[in-house]
Chains A and B, each alone.
Chain A
Amino acid sequence: MNLLANVIQVLILVLAAPLLRGFIARLKAIIQRRRGASIWRPYADLWKLFHKEDLVPKTATAVFRGAPAIGFAVTLVATAFLPLLHSNALVQLDGDIFLFVYLLVIVRFVMSLAALDGGSAFGGMGSSREALVATLAEAPLFLVLTAVAILAKTSSLSQMAQWTTTQNFFDISTVHILAFAALVIVAIAETGRIPVDNPTTHLELTMIHEAMVLEYSGPSLALIEWSQAIKLHVMGALMVALFAPWGMSAVDTAGGLLVALGVYALKLLGLAIGLSIVESSVAKLRMYVVPDFLRVASALAILAVIFTAITKR
């Protein structure tokens, strides 16, 4: 039952990711007084892309062809470390927070290389911007995880979730507030949502991620889109696991897991509503202000780590 639940967790993270994306798009449409597309639209998009021809630039090498598959596979591996329905993950290692962060970085690295390999000017521009955002977002993400790990006295994501479930929800700790605020900023930058990057356009000179994948088409683009959707879901699941894991099933029964799934869906719904409100009300930042935005996350994350020493709880 335990193993089954773990596999179901990973499947939910991977298969429900496009649904989350469609759901956020629908919420944004409602906020902006539009009717919007169906929430199942991302699945249809993926289906369409998988049945199209894969066009590859003449100058491209194996790096360009292999990158989407590698990126997708590495993202899949990253999902295996997250606890979702109960405080266990498919893979638990001592120190897997470090592995988790660097798995996410590998995806970006491979995609940047592929964008350079594609040979278009836009690809190079996008990959240099992506590298800038990635370097600035990596340190705060790392420090956030470290701060919570120091409190929980463990460096495994699932054991950190386990520790948090035993804490009192109303006991607000300074570290948690600071770390959560930093993680929200990092998650926005990592997943390329609105104040940092606009995920819905291919037509802006300021685009970051979309500029990188401009050369891709067909099944390759489908894999990239899907792994991007999974990444968004993974960041949401990470926030839930680290800061609000209450409601995870303590026993591995079918009923308990179903309830946990419902509670998880509610928490994710809350995050999605928050994200769509932010995306509809905030303007995209100028490219040169993005480092400033991420600097705020770094300061908050550093402060969170310092506070683990100051406030002994």
Chain B
Amino acid sequence: MGIIELALAKVLSSAAVLLFATVLLMATARRISTCAYLFACQSAILTAEVVAVGYFQHIPGAYVIAGVVLLAKVVGIPFALLWLMKKLHTPHDVGASLSPGYSIFVMSGLVVLSFAVVRLYLQELRAAEVILAAAVALILSGAFLMVTRSKALMLMIGLLVLENGIFLAALVTTFGMPLIIEIGIVFDLLIGLLLMGIFVFRIRSTFDHLDVSRLRRLRG
């Protein structure tokens, strides 16, 4: 039993660091598939965090949530994204309007900013500073990815990262939302992904590319 507790405590203390790492790597990634794999890693870290929180707070429902997150975000969504890429025969490039070198500078700025933001509210919340900052950093970086990457698939990944951030913030501030709400959110996400997938197919068939920055003219 001792080793499980040790491992879970390690998860709690180092999850934030690893999340920062995934976010920074996403800023430097040049291929959409790399971003999909990084998203899977990020979700795996989130799953471990959920399990750890559930274990230490004695919330049995947390394991169910962890299972759902594992199935949907670590396995399901990344596979769906990779399958979509294969089906669409789209170029692998993320379509960055800001080069990776500059992106990582902005991303580091966002990480520091999230620490500054979190510090204001730290007195009222019981959560640890680092993990809350990681949640805010995920939200900001998701928005950043959506703004600076012009491929439709990257917008989807940006939104998913943003959602991961909101999920993590909810987890660490409330110590577990009601089970039904969590499952509802994940379900929402899957439906949203489905809709976006259909949209991407439509964009592809009408415009012959997936570059959102080039969607200027109306086409019937």
CA of A306 to CA of B99 in the docked complex: distance in angstroms? Answer: 23
Bits for A285-312, please: 1 = Cβ < 8 Å to B, else 0. Answer: 0000001111110111011001000110
Q: Contact: B24 with A177, CB < 8 Å? A: no
Size of interface on A: residues with Cβ below 8 Å to B? 22
CA of A173 to CA of B18 in the docked complex: distance in angstroms? Answer: 10
In this complex, the member of B17, B20, B107, B115 whose beta carbon has the largest number of chain A beta carbons within 10 angstroms is: B17
Pick the contact of A311: B101, B107, B130 (CB < 8 A): B130
Given that A293-B101, A295-B102 are known contacts, is A177 also in contact with B108, CB under 8 Å in the complex?
no
Pick the contact of B111: A172, A292, A303 (CB < 8 A): A303
Given that A172-B14, A303-B112, A310-B115 are known contacts, is A295 also in contact with B24, CB under 8 Å in the complex?
no
Chain B contact residues, majority secondary structure: helix
Q: Contact: B112 with A292, CB < 8 Å? A: no
| In the complex, B56 has a CB within 8 A of chain A | no
Given that A170-B10, A177-B17, A303-B112 are known contacts, is A296 also in contact with B100, CB under 8 Å in the complex?
yes
Bits for B1-44, please: 1 = Cβ < 8 Å to A, else 0. Answer: 00000000010011011001100100010000000000000000
Q: Contact: B10 with A299, CB < 8 Å? A: no
Q: Contact: A292 with B99, CB < 8 Å? A: yes
Pick the contact of A174: B17, B28, B104, B105 (CB < 8 A): B17
**Shortest CB distance A172–B (Å):** 4
Within residues 90 to 132 of chain B, which ones have a CB less than 8 A from any CB in chain A? 99-102, 104-105, 107-108, 111-112, 115, 130
Q: Contact: A172 with B104, CB < 8 Å? A: no
CA of A311 to CA of B107 in the docked complex: distance in angstroms? Answer: 18
Given that A310-B112, A310-B115, A311-B130 are known contacts, is A295 also in contact with B101, CB under 8 Å in the complex?
yes
Size of interface on B: residues with Cβ below 8 Å to A? 21
Nearest opposing residue in chain B for A292, CB measure = B101
Nearest opposing residue in chain B for A293, CB measure = B101
Nearest opposing residue in chain B for A301, CB measure = B108
A292 contacts across to B, CB distance below 8 A? 99-101
CA of A311 to CA of B20 in the docked complex: distance in angstroms? Answer: 14
Q: Contact: B112 with A299, CB < 8 Å? A: no
CA of A292 to CA of B96 in the docked complex: distance in angstroms? Answer: 13
CA of A181 to CA of B21 in the docked complex: distance in angstroms? Answer: 10
A294 contacts across to B, CB distance below 8 A? 101
Q: Contact: B21 with A296, CB < 8 Å? A: no
Nearest opposing residue in chain B for A173, CB measure = B17
Q: Contact: B108 with A299, CB < 8 Å? A: yes
A177 contacts across to B, CB distance below 8 A? 17, 21
Within residues 140 to 186 of chain B, which ones have a CB less than 8 A from any CB in chain A? none
Nearest opposing residue in chain B for A172, CB measure = B14
CA of A298 to CA of B100 in the docked complex: distance in angstroms? Answer: 12
Given that A172-B14, A291-B101 are known contacts, is A302 also in contact with B108, CB under 8 Å in the complex?
yes
CA of A299 to CA of B105 in the docked complex: distance in angstroms? Answer: 5
CA of A296 to CA of B30 in the docked complex: distance in angstroms? Answer: 13
Q: Contact: A296 with B104, CB < 8 Å? A: yes
Given that A303-B111, A310-B115 are known contacts, is A295 also in contact with B105, CB under 8 Å in the complex?
yes
CA of A172 to CA of B130 in the docked complex: distance in angstroms? Answer: 13
CA of A299 to CA of B24 in the docked complex: distance in angstroms? Answer: 10
CA of A106 to CA of B197 in the docked complex: distance in angstroms? Answer: 56
CA of A181 to CA of B14 in the docked complex: distance in angstroms? Answer: 16
CA of A303 to CA of B130 in the docked complex: distance in angstroms? Answer: 14
Q: List 12 A-B contacts (CB under 8 A).
A: A170-B10, A172-B14, A173-B17, A295-B105, A296-B28, A296-B104, A299-B24, A299-B104, A299-B105, A299-B107, A303-B112, A311-B130
The 8 closest A-B pairs by CB, nearest first: A295-B101, A292-B101, A299-B104, A303-B108, A172-B14, A174-B17, A299-B105, A299-B108
Q: Which residues of B contact A (CB under 8 A)?
A: 10, 13-14, 16-17, 20-21, 24, 28, 99-102, 104-105, 107-108, 111-112, 115, 130
13 more contacts with CB within 8 A, not counting A174-B130, A299-B24, A299-B104, are A171-B13, A174-B16, A177-B17, A178-B20, A295-B102, A296-B100, A296-B101, A299-B107, A299-B108, A300-B104, A303-B111, A303-B112, A306-B112
Q: Which residues of A contact B (CB under 8 A)?
A: 170-174, 177-178, 181, 291-296, 298-300, 302-303, 306, 310-311
